[in-house]
Amino acid sequence: MNNELKESLAQATNGLIYMSETDAAIEPFEGGPAEAATAENLLAQIGAAGDSPVGERGFEEIFARLTRVYDGGGEEQATRAGRFAELKTLMEANLTDLKVFKIGRVNVDIYMVGIDGEGNLSGVKTHAVET
């Protein structure tokens, strides 16, 4: 990942929280060379077991929920939705083959990744509790 993208992702995710049964920070993820954003490539790059439970979600589907402003959600929720919209735009402008992978059950690591201009798996990561 080039320094400009790295800095942009760091700024976009600074203080951004992923809400689930636990609230978790969203952080930049810098992987290594990959021809495609696949579960196999991601698992290998993060050192997870090949038989780890992985679910793939659509990038648009995940961000539709994260960027939606809810009636009665308040100013904080609207601000967070706006920041997720900015993150989505940044990722779409700098990454191809965008995907979301959820690794694990209940305690889930979430990677929103694509391929950057240098051919590396890059994006953001967070954690959620899903019961």
Ranges of each domain in the chain: 3-129
The residues pairing with 19 across neighbouring beta strands, listed in sequence order, are 23
pLDDT digits (tens, 9 = 90+) for 43-90: 999 998 778 899 999 999 999 999 998 888 789 889 999 999 999 999
pLDDT band at 128 (very low <50, low <70, confident <90, very high): very high
Q: Which of 107, 87, 103, 106 is nearest to 95 (CA)?
A: 87
CA distance 120 to 9: 15
H or E stretch covering 45? helix 39-46
Q: What is the pLDDT of residue 83?
A: 97
CA distance 131 to 124: 23
User: Which pTM does this prediction carry?
Assistant: 0.94
| Region class of 15: left (phi > 0), else alpha (psi between -120 and 50), else beta | left
Judge: domain 3-129, CATH 3.40.50.1950.
Answer: no
Show the tokens assigned to 23: 């609230």
Residues 6+ away with beta carbon under 8 Å from 29: 111, 113, 121, 122, 123, 124, 125
Q: At what angle do helices 3-13 and 74-94 cross, to 10 degrees?
A: 170
